[in-house]
Amino acid sequence: MIVLTVLLSLQMSGCFFIKADLSLVSKAEPLQEQVIAGQGKDKILLMDITGMITTEESSTALGVSRELGMVAVVREQLDRARSDGNVKALVLRINSPGGGVTASDMLYHELKQFKSETGVKVIAHFTDAGASGAYYTALAADRITAQPTTITGSIGVTMLRVDATGLMQKIGIQALEISSGPEKGMGSPFRAVTPEEKKIFQGMINDLYGRFVDLIVAERKLPVEKVRQLADGRIFTSRDAREAGLIDDVGYLEDALGKAKELAGIQQASIISYIRPGDYRPNIYSMNMNLFNVNLGELSRPGMKFTYLWMP
């Protein structure tokens, strides 16, 4: 660590340029199983989905190391659980405002496939937030529970786009676009949105929104008319969400673990998590996360974006 600090200081001072793969300093190692509560041969896997849902890798604060993206880590843990016949249930602890449309759909798909292949029961449990893409992901679960103080809902799609045309006019900069068709550059921040482009974008948003609604209808067994009333982007408390049929139970993590045992048909179980070497989780409230990591995923990249995201 001292050597790394010295090298970074010298580089930032302009003394020399480091040409090296510094990410090797924190290269990811295979997952290890840790028992964090309970006992018995049967196991319940506790897995976290925390923060922005994205396929992108995360960076440390100094930017000198990379970690696997959320979707990749979830798949890695599911693969580990697939190989262990003693894993009888999965409790997915979610604290997320949502994220990318595709990343949310990938998580939903991975969980559905895991359930289909293994028969393992899946409980989704929301803590602070389980909104938009996080709720989309949770639709793959057999049951959705939430803390009494959870915020959920925000069902819908957002398109993020920056319009820099006004700024360019003020500073006297013009953008030259040469393309093969009138709509090839649609979404560019260097030109205003035309009525035709807005119509196209709205059609895309409607399609992505329709998929979200269809999944809720199918997974929550609710009438489509009711879902469309609920899916106007509003947020819900956990109590209101339960009354609306969007979730099943309001309670705490231990209640979700108890429900997992009930659905799996087991009396006792070891509560396990998969961790990297060097991590430590003393109890069920410990989360497997690095507070120094920054991961906004596709939201940090320039350009147009479609998201299932609650942005308070």
Q: What angle do CA 278, 280, 281 make, to 5 degrees?
A: 155
Report the 10 Å Cβ neighbour count for 162.
12
Q: Give the whole-angstrom CA distance, residue 52 versus residue 299.
A: 9
Q: Give the whole-angstrom CA distance, residue 156 versus residue 158.
A: 7
Name the β-bridge partners of 46: 91
Choose the catalytic residue: 184, 198, 199, 300. Answer: 184
Q: Give the whole-angstrom CA distance, residue 192 versus residue 165.
A: 7
Q: In a 10 Å sphere around its CB, with 0-12 CB exposed, 13-18 middle and 19+ buried, how is residue 19 labelled?
A: exposed
Determine whether 27 is an active site residue: no
What are the strands of the beta sheet with 98-100, ordered from one edge?
Answer: 98-100, 305-309, 158-160
Q: At what angle do helices 70-82 and 101-118 cross, to 10 degrees?
A: 0
Report the 10 Å Cβ neighbour count for 201.
17
Q: How many residues does the chain have?
A: 312
Determine whether 184 is an active site residue: yes
DSSP string, 253-302: HHHHHHHHHHHHT-S--EEEEEE-TT----STT-----TT-B--GGGGSS
Choose the catalytic residue: 58, 132, 154, 238. Answer: 132
Catalytic site positions: 132, 184
